[in-house]
Amino acid sequence: MTIRSPVVKIEGLWSAFRVNGVKNVVHQDLNLSIARGEFLSIVGGSGSGKTLLLRQMLGLETPMRGRVQVLGHPAGHLGRQGVAAQVGMLFQHGALFSAFTVLENIAFALHELGTLPKALVHDVAMVKLQMVGLSPAQANKMPSDLSGGMVKRVALARALVMDPPLLLLDEPTAGLDPDAAEAFCTLLRTLREELRLTVVMVTHDLDTLFSLSSRIAVVADKHVIVAASPQEVVDFPHPFVRDFFLGGRGHRAMQVMRSEISAA
Amino acid sequence: MAVFCYAAAQRVTIRLTSPNLILDIRSVVEHQQPRIQLEPGAQGDCVTLYGSWNASILAQPQNWLRLSRQLQSQAAHAMDISWDLRQVERLDHTGAQMLWNAWGRRWPRHVMLLDMQRATLSRVEHFTVEAPPPVRYTLWSAYLGLGAWLMAFGNHMQDAGRMSAQLFVDLFRLLRHPLKAPWRDVSVHIYRIGATAMPITALVGFLIGVVLAYLMSQQLRQFGADAYVVNILGIALFRELGPVLAAILIAGRSGSSITAQIGVMRVTEELDAMRVMGISRSQRLVMPRALALAVVMPLLAAWTTAAALTGAILASDLTLGMSPAYFMIALPKAVQLANLGLAMLKSCAFGLLIALIGCHFGLRVMPDTQSLGTGTTSSVVMSITMVILVDAFFAVLFKGVGV
């Protein structure tokens, strides 16, 4: 694969799941392409299949029809050994291994390679731990002793331990207080610039959305209705977009975005 | 490349160009393999690094062995040689850490880097910390460990005692207000623990009955004491095997599920939710299970005994030619009714024990996966051990009854 080809390419995706035997189609002929270096946010109403789209990219779900290609390979081929070097995922609730300490959680993917000596793995995990803004003193804590913000940071460090070029985030700021959410956004922005990551994020939080995204994809009516820069998306004529961005909450977040643009 | 291909296509000599293409691809693949090359230069030696230095490629055993050996051989004079990293395609933090450690955790005098590599290496420089010293095992730590173990044991006993006492309080409350009790829960548990366990207990009981009757009849025939097979089997099955077999099966089957169920409720914070709604978990979780098991265990013991007797009758008929009718007539004479009463009493105690132990370990589960696993295992092991202990206790206590 070359530098120019998209990191994620979704073509004609149909996904469906069964509830009590009734087939429920969530995505119908959905197309989306994500270029290298982008920060793409996926927004949509509750139940519109944003997280399912993310799970499709991770190969956790099988498409009913259509193709999902990640880094030039079908998404179904992810989940093999060494995939941590290609895709990092930050789950909504962290999904830390509760039986491991923080450091063991971060080092897990490296440790599983089996060859690298313990001392080196320890050093790398310690560097990642501090890269996400935690102190070495947190290394031996158990996940159940951490606060919500710390869980997210550890999960981010774990996702990044093998320096994957693609990072997927599911609701990274959900459940964090505004201060912690802001700090987490700053962290994501810095890491993305420093590590030159391609990031795909699912979020409901408009502040996070406008402060991070380089492109926004709106999922509604079972497909991506628009995927463009934040300003273009806001101007897109569609009832969902109007309700989502131009409601009371959207209005306030937009003002912040406008003032940031004018300040820049 | 593109120009070359274009020219080739113009001359339509694809066959000529294809070996070149293959060569080209191979060189690309080889190019990705991490390599170290030592080149003697005018101002001292120069080490040039090639290929991809990232975790998944470095972790391939042949790469790791080769590179770590080569780096180690340079480590002694890492300061004095100049390092050229500009040919490296991808240097991730693992690769950078490996180099940094090989450099003795400081910058060599001469390094040629790309900006991105410098950023990665300086992050590694900034964040590398010394590993904490390993914990040493001393007499003092062994002493502290013993103390911690004793405290944990005391804590267990305290919890178990409190829960049992609470159960009695709840049972008294139940007697005073029988209508307010969670009868629906009790009936659900009676069905789940009792009714659904009937096939497996019957199968196990039947097979044990067959095997025992077969072995006994073989032995007794040598002494011409065939008729006494009814006495031996009757006493053994009624008094011991029926209740104990049923209890062990239920301890494995339902004791573990009680622990796991309550343990998951802890993990998902359902226990806390019950607490803030003012619902007593002793009343809603422990009591229904204890009641259900206390009712169900004697019934299952009777059922298992019946299945075992069926097997025994069948086997005696086949090996000794003893008719089922004779067996049924001889049985009441051989086994006094007190044995049945004792078995039921014992089973009731087993049921209570299994429920209490299951709930106790379930409520002690911490919100993590490991503790759920150990809790379930300990619960099963503990309830089976306790069943056998209590059985021995009953045997001593009632040694004069029914024999």
Do B129 and A136 lie within an 8 Å CB cutoff?
A: yes
A123 closest CB neighbour out of B58, B101, B119: B101
Within this chain, do residues B109 and B182 fall inside the same structural domain, yes or no? no
The answer to the question of residue B219 being in a domain is yes
B27, burial (CB in 10 Å: exposed 0-12, middle 13-18, buried 19+): exposed
B56 closest CB neighbour out of A85, A97, A128: A85
Within this chain, do residues B207 and B102 fall inside the same structural domain, yes or no? no
State which residues of chain B have pLDDT below 70: 1-31, 42
The answer to the question of residue B194 being in a domain is yes
Q: Is the pLDDT of residue A191 over 60?
A: yes
Would strands A223-228 and A215-220 be described as parallel, antiparallel, or unpaired? antiparallel
- Three-state DSSP at B46 gives strand
Per-residue pLDDT of A77-107, as tens digits, reads 776 666 777 888 888 888 888 888 999 999 9
At a CB cut-off of 8 Å and minimum separation 6, what does B59 contact?
Answer: A110, A113, A114, A115, A116
- For residue B55, give the CATH number of its domain: 3.30.750.24
The span from the CA of A150 to the CA of A184, in Å, is 10
Q: Where are the alpha helices (DSSP H) in B33-76?
A: 55-58, 61-75
Going by C-alpha positions, the residue among B266, B272, B281 that lies closest to residue B365 is: B266
B12, burial (CB in 10 Å: exposed 0-12, middle 13-18, buried 19+): exposed
For residue B354, what pLDDT is reported? Answer: 96
Within this chain, do residues B80 and B215 fall inside the same structural domain, yes or no? no
Q: How far is A122 from chain B (nearest CA, A)?
A: 8
Q: Which residue of A has its CA nearest to B105?
A: A123
**Count of C-beta atoms within a 10 Å radius of residue B236:** 18
Contact B304, B246 (CB under 8 A): yes
Mutate to test the interface with B, among A81, A116, A197 (most CBs of B within 10 A): A116
Would strands B44-53 and B82-84 be described as parallel, antiparallel, or unpaired? parallel
Q: For chain A, where are the E strands, in sequence order?
A: 8-19, 22-34, 39-44, 65-70, 73-74, 87-90, 166-170, 198-202, 215-220, 223-228
Which of residues B70, B98, B127 is at a domain's end? B127
Contact B82, B44 (CB under 8 A): yes
Report residue A240 as tokens.
């969902």
Asked if B213 reaches chain A (Cβ–Cβ under 8 Å), the answer is: no
Which element (helix H / strand E) includes A128? helix A118-131
Q: Which residue of A has its CA nearest to B125?
A: A127
Per-residue pLDDT of A16-30, as tens digits, reads 887 777 888 888 888
Within this chain, do residues B163 and B57 fall inside the same structural domain, yes or no? no
For residue A243, what pLDDT is reported? Answer: 82
Which of residues B93, B127, B161 is at a domain's end? B127
Q: Which residues pair with A11 in a beta bridge?
A: A67
Q: Which residues of B198-213 are buried (b: 16+ CB within 10 A; e: fewer)?
A: eeebbebbbebbbebb
Which of residues B66, B100, B127 is at a domain's end? B127
Q: Which residue of B has its CA nearest to A86?
A: B56
Q: Which residue of B has its CA nearest to A126?
A: B128
Per-residue pLDDT of B333-369, as tens digits, reads 888 889 999 999 999 999 999 999 999 999 999 887 8
Its domain, for residue B296, covers 145-397
At a CB cut-off of 8 Å and minimum separation 6, what does B154 contact?
Answer: none
The answer to the question of residue B138 being in a domain is no
Per-residue pLDDT of A193-206, as tens digits, reads 888 889 999 988 88
Length of chain A: 264
Asked if B124 reaches chain A (Cβ–Cβ under 8 Å), the answer is: yes
Q: What is the dihedral of CA A188, A145, A97, B152, to 10 degrees?
A: 170
Asked if A85 reaches chain B (Cβ–Cβ under 8 Å), the answer is: yes
Q: Which residues pair with A168 in a beta bridge?
A: A89, A200
Sign of CA dihedral B71, B72, B73, B75: positive
Q: Where are the alpha helices (DSSP H) in A34-101?
A: 50-57
Residue owning tokens 């009792």 = B194
**Count of C-beta atoms within a 10 Å radius of residue A194:** 13
In a 13 Å sphere around the CA of A116, the CA atoms on its Cβ side amount to 26
The span from the CA of A32 to the CA of A12, in Å, is 9
At a CB cut-off of 8 Å and minimum separation 6, what does A152 contact?
Answer: A90, A94, A172, A176, A184
Q: How confident is the model at residue A244 (pLDDT cuts 50, 70, 90)?
A: confident
A113 closest CB neighbour out of B56, B119, B123: B56
Per-residue pLDDT of A149-159, as tens digits, reads 889 889 989 99
The span from the CA of A8 to the CA of A200, in Å, is 9
Chain A residues within an 8 Å CB radius of B101: 119-120, 123
Q: How far is CA B382 from CA A65, A236, B248, in A?
A: 52, 65, 11
The span from the CA of A149 to the CA of A154, in Å, is 9
Chain A residues within an 8 Å CB radius of B98: 120
Domain limits of chain A? Answer: 96-164
For residue A196, what pLDDT is reported? Answer: 83
The answer to the question of residue B28 being in a domain is no
Phi, psi of A27 (to 5 degrees): -115, 135
Residue B130 per-residue DSSP state: P
**Count of C-beta atoms within a 10 Å radius of residue B20:** 13
Q: Give whichever of A64-73, A215-224, B199-208, B217-226 has the largest mean pLDDT.
A: B199-208
The answer to the question of residue B235 being in a domain is yes
Is this complex scored with an ipTM above 0.95?
Answer: no
A113 closest CB neighbour out of B55, B93, B101: B55
Collect contacts of B232-238 with beta carbons under 8 A, ≥24 apart.
B233/B209, B233/B309, B233/B312, B233/B316, B234/B331, B234/B334, B234/B335, B235/B334, B235/B335, B235/B339, B235/B403, B236/B212, B237/B209, B237/B212, B237/B305, B237/B308, B237/B309, B237/B312, B238/B305, B238/B335, B238/B339, B238/B340, B238/B343
Q: Which residue of B has its CA nearest to A133?
A: B127
Q: How many domains does chain B have?
A: 2
Within this chain, do residues B360 and B224 fall inside the same structural domain, yes or no? yes
B127 closest CB neighbour out of A122, A131, A196: A131
Asked if A162 reaches chain B (Cβ–Cβ under 8 Å), the answer is: yes
The answer to the question of residue B177 being in a domain is yes
The answer to the question of residue B181 being in a domain is yes
Asked if B325 reaches chain A (Cβ–Cβ under 8 Å), the answer is: no
For residue A172, what pLDDT is reported? Answer: 86
Question: Mean pLDDT over all residues of chain A?
Answer: 84
**Count of C-beta atoms within a 10 Å radius of residue B102:** 18
The answer to the question of residue B7 being in a domain is no
Q: Which residues 96-115 of A are in CB contact (within 8 Å) with B? A: 97-99, 110, 113-115
For residue B28, what pLDDT is reported? Answer: 44
